[in-house]
Amino acid sequence: MATLAMVIPILQFRKFWSQRQFWIAVSILTALQLPLVGTAQHLLEHLGATFLLGFGIADGIFVIVVIWLLCSRSSEEGN
């Protein structure tokens, strides 16, 4: 789920691929995913598969919002 939460926004925001801020944001978010996935894996054992779906959706939305806020702001400044 964490992989999808990163891959889908990367493909969705192709217009930002030329921006350095985009790749910095993706790198930082990827680094944050590692401990987050470890924690979620532990919680998954206790809370079940429904938790995984909710976690994946929330994680994906968070990644999309962060990338959109950082990159749309910098693209507006460039105009």
pTM for the full model? 0.78
Could you tell me the pLDDT band of residue 76, with boundaries at 50, 70 and 90?
Answer: low
Residue-range domain boundaries for the chain: 2-78
Query: What local confidence, expressed as pLDDT, does residue 26 receive?
Result: 92
The DSSP result for 7-41, as a single string, is HHHHHHTGGGTT-HHHHHHHHHHHHHHHHHHHHHH
Condensed to tens digits (0 to 9), the pLDDT of residues 10-58 reads: 899 999 999 899 999 999 998 988 888 888 788 888 888 787 888 888 8
Could you tell me the pLDDT band of residue 65, with boundaries at 50, 70 and 90?
Answer: very high
